[in-house]
Copies of this chain bind each other. A is one copy, B any other.
Amino acid sequence: MTVTVGDFLKSHDIKPSYQRVKIYEFLKNSKEHPTVDVIYSALSPDIPTLSKTTVYNTLKVFIDKGIAMAITIDEREVRFDAEIRMHGHFKCYKCHQVYDFEMADQTADVDALEGFDIMERQLFYYGLCEHCNHKLKEVEEQ
């Protein structure tokens, strides 16, 4: 009794067109927080008629319906994620890769936001990832 992507989209009030199913599948299976351009380039061979505008439109629908989120960790272009559960993002200054990381949800104790309705949270860390940090240390030790 597996739930198809089509069913999943339907359950979120999204008509499961061919393009939408393909885009959601790609986003869900991707770990790399792809940009619109990455999604478009990846699916273009399979869907030759695909338009970049469709990718933009579709992601907007996903976000409106709450099954994806935009990540503005990069100043230049927006990245997307089908993982809605609260988690942080780390971006490496050197290799520019974006990592997920788990974290306790400790948002309740922000006194300053009494009366505010917090609907979304984004936690961005920046620095050197384990890999780049390690390589840097090796160089310093020489």
Interfacial chain B residues near A101, Cβ < 8 Å: 110, 112-113
B127 touches A119 (CB 8 A): yes
Q: Which of B111, B119, B126 is the one whose CB lies under 8 Å from A120?
A: B126
Stoichiometry, as copies per complex, reads 2
Whether the pair B78, A70 counts as a contact (CB closer than 8 A) is no
Interface class of chain A by DSSP: mixed
- Tally of chain A residues near chain B (CB < 8 A): 40
Task: Tell me the complex Cα distance, A34–B122, Å.
Answer: 20
With A124-B122, A128-B116, A130-B115 already in contact, the answer to whether A78 and B75 are too (CB < 8 A) is yes
Of A72, A111, A119, most buried by chain B (CB within 10 Å of CB) is A72
- One of B102, B111, B126, B133 near A112 (C-beta < 8 A): B102
**Beta-carbon contacts of A111-142 to B below 8 Å, as 1s and 0s?**
11111111111111111111001100000000
State the 7 A-B residue pairs at the shortest beta-carbon distance, nearest first. Answer: A115-B130, A101-B112, A119-B127, A120-B126, A117-B128, A122-B124, A118-B127
